[in-house]
Each structure stands twice: as C-alpha cells, then as structure tokens.
Structure 1
Amino acid sequence: MPDNRHPIIYVRGYAMTSSERDETAADPFCGFNAGSTVYRATVDKKAAAQKFVFESPVVRLISDFGYQNCYQNGLDILDEDWKPPPGDDGADADGMPAASIVVYRYYDSGSGLLGDGQARDIRFYAQGLSRLILRVRDLVAQREGPGYRQEEFRCYLVAHSMGGLVVRAFLQNPALGDDAARDCVDKVFTYATPHNGIDAAGINVPSWLSVA
C-alpha cells in the first residue's frame, strides 16, 4: 500500500428530529457505510439492465486501500478510555495509523441515546470538528514516531449535506476553531450540500460561514 495515505474524516448530514439524531448516533458510521444494489443499463442498448452492487466508499477504502476504522473495543478516539489499535505486527502501539477512517460523531451529544437530546448550533459542531482534527493529528504523530513533524500532517474531509456547511463554517470563519486544525486540511469533498441555501424554505447561507 502507498505510504502517502492520509486520514479521511467523514462529516454527516442533517438530522432534524430527536429520533433521527438517535438513529444516526446508533450507527457506527452514521450512514456512510450504506451502499446500494440497483439495476443499471448496459452499454448494449438492446440488452436488459443488469444488477449492480455498489459497495460504499467506506467499505472500499477498507477492502481495497488498506484503511482501518478507529473504533477499538466499542470506543472511538474521543472517548476517555479509548486505546490505540495494534501495530502492523499485532503488538501494542501508540496513536493511530495515517490510513484511518474517522467519523465525526457530532450528533452523539444531541441524541437521547448518548447525550441530552438537545440539538446544537452549527457553530458548535464546527468547533468540535476543529478539536477532532487536532486529536487525529496528535494520534497519527504518536504512531509515526519521533521523526514525524506535526506540521507534515494532512487529512481529507468528506461531508454530506449539512456536513458540508459544518466544514465550511470551520474552514471559512476564523472564530470557529483553530488555525492549526485548518492548516491540516488537504482536500475537501462535499456532496448534496446546499452551498447556496435552500431557496424553497427562504434560507440563505448564514453570515457566519465567512468573515464577510
């Protein structure tokens, strides 16, 4: 496997109701592990459509590119009792490998299952993303060893729907998070994110997405 892989942090989309937040919190990958099985048209226009199994990108990252998730013994990296995964040789090791999948579980605090059931402001989630990135940076540095410089650390952000607004709020507003965390972000991919607001509901992109 290539040694230039970076951690990929997934940021979930909008969960409106308390039951939706509970459902999201109950899913280890907050829905990013979901794939699909559909019928697709073939190149031959005369041929019948064929079944196509689409594994989620998360599954493909693990099976095809050697990534691993950061859950250990039922805990994730923000839990106090979380312990690092073993090294490639199976022995105990510090930190976490760079080729890791991290899910930003920002709905845990607002779920009735793991939190107080109260939704937070998007700015709260943006600041939490900043803290998570720095946590991942520190853990990767521990795994890489003394010769690794923290300023070399980079990560990718993948965000769905409102998750893209959380990412933009963090990246574009200096008041929401740490500049050191923003410097860690190498690439951002968003999909189904309402970057221009939701006209049907009369909602525009909030002013706090930028300093303008």
Structure 2
Amino acid sequence: MLNWAHIDSVLLDLDGTLLDLHYDNYFWNEFVPARYARNRNLSVTDAKTKLLPRMLELQGTLDWYCVDFWSRELNLDILALKTELRHLIKLRPGARSFLSYLRTQPQRVILATNAHLKSVALKFQQTGLAPLFDRVITSHELGHPKEDQTFWEKFHLLEAFDPKRTLFIDDNLTVLEAAARYGIGHLLWVSRPDLTQPTRTLTGDFTSLAHFDDLLPSDCPRVMR
C-alpha cells in the first residue's frame, strides 16, 4: 500500500484512528445526555433533543473538541465524566504494533489531533502510547482545528516537514480534504473508526485503511504484528 522510501514523516490522528471511536461516540451521544438529563430533571430523550442541535452547530470548530468549553456550556465536569468512562478507551487493532514498528524506522512520528489536551492526557494514561511519538501537536495548541488551513500553516511552523513526503492517517474526510489542499502527499482514511459500527463506504478520493497490518512490510516479523 505504501512505499516507505517515499515517506519521511508520519502524522496520526488519535480518536477513530489509533483509538476506537466507540468511547467518544458513546460518551457524547449517550453518557453526557444522560448526566445532563439527570442534573436538570429531564428525560434523556428531551436532553438529546436539546443538546444535539448545539453540538451539530459547533461541529468542526475548536469549541466542538474542547473539554473546557463543554464543561461551561453544560455545567458538567466533562473531564471527570470522561475519566469515569475511561474503561472504554481502547486501541484499534494493530495500532500499537504499527507504532512500535515505526519506532524502529527513520520516519518521524507525530500525533496530530483535534482532541483537547486533557482528553489526550487521559487517553495516554489509559493506553501508554505517549512514548511512541516523537511529538504531540493538538489543535488547541495552535488555536485552529485540523479542518482549517491555518492549522496546517501553524503546524508547519512548529514542525519542519516536506508535505509531499508525509503520510497522514485520519478517520475524518473533512480533515483529510484540508490536508490534501495543504499538499500532504500520502493520505489514508480509516474505514471503521468505531469498532461497534459497520465498515464505512468511501465516498471521497482517498485510499481507505481497514487495518494497520496493511501498512507493515511483508517481511516484518510477526511479533511486531
């Protein structure tokens, strides 16, 4: 699928790419509405009816990804709720093996995520992934989400890389389209970010990725897989 000789940098998304998106989907679609409903003596259905339009309104913005914003907006301790549900934080199949393989290679490995720093810290604590990256860059650090070209411009100021010789893997088509506009040369779309849901059908021009094993060279020792 890839010619690694043509890649110097690997940029990886977190939620839905390295981690099973079920945690986040369940958290925002079920867990948060239930707690919001309990605090306001609402039915869960009424809570969802109230919250969903607001969430959709902010989708793709920095606030949509911000733990602190939603804590203020909903008068809930979002980080505490995320921590309460941390047992659902799971790696997608092959993710750790892929990252471990990359540590043996010359490519620079960078986490490029829209996740809030507090969410990243919780997920690193739960998975132990932090040592497998050369660098972690979040959209909150740059002040713009990955959907925005300004994110990529500021990212490039922090991290010297050749876009044409960079691999970026994400589960969000809008983010991949933004990366393509910036000139990222190798783009992969995760076809099944939520492991409780069916595989999605690709509607864009990107190559889909089902399993990280597909990126490992054929002579890679099985222990790495």
Task: Report the TM-score range of the alignment, normalised by the length of the smaller protein.
Answer: 0.3 to 0.5
Structure 2 length-normalised TM: 0.35
Q: Of the two structures, which has the highest relative contact order with CA contacts closer than 8 Å and spacing of 6 or more?
A: 2
Of Structure 1 and Structure 2, the greater helix share is in 2
Structure 1 length-normalised TM: 0.37
Of Structure 1 and Structure 2, the greater strand share is in 1
Answer with 1 or 2: which has the greater Rg.
1
